[in-house]
Amino acid sequence: MRLTLFSDYTLRTLMYLALHPDRFVTIAEIAAAYRISSNHLMKVVQQLAASGEVLTLRGQHGGLRLGRPASEIRVGEIIRRTEPEMALAPCAECVIQPGCLLPDLLDRAVAAFMAVLDQHTVADLVANPRALTSLLARRD
């Protein structure tokens, strides 16, 4: 199983905002910190704003910040939103699907995966803020 880049960038954005709860942050700042394209982050931020996970403010001192505490944002909830099609195999198109046990096995595997993610919040992901902020500040 592999999460999409969209999910990765979504989690990275939420983590960055959780590391800077006291101010508004720009997309350009996040992109520079992670050394990724700000264009890719635009769609991520749009979805996060639409879901209420992120608040946005326009203008010279604008930017974005978390819409609720990081301790209330479950990782599993985010992944469900960014990965709506979690099917591990295209079983619906298979001729043996009606009698095959694989779909049930894969469904249980996804459920176990999501159960682990549901146990953690964005706050858990930034539990060591000093280490993360020093890594984000490096310009190798």
For 65-90, the pLDDT digits (tens) are 999 999 999 999 999 999 988 777 77
* Tally of CB atoms within 10 A around 56: 15
Cα of 101 vs its chain's centroid, Å:
31
Cα of 105 vs its chain's centroid, Å:
26
Query: What's the one-letter identity of residue 118?
Result: D
Tens-digit pLDDT profile for residues 110-134 = 999 999 999 999 999 999 888 898 8
Pick the closest to residue 45 from 21, 18, 27, 71 (CA basis): 27
Average pLDDT for 100-117: 91
- Would you state the pLDDT for residue 140? 55
Class of domain 5-137: mainly alpha
Q: Which two tokens stand for residue 111?
A: 């459920």
The domain spans of the chain are: 5-137
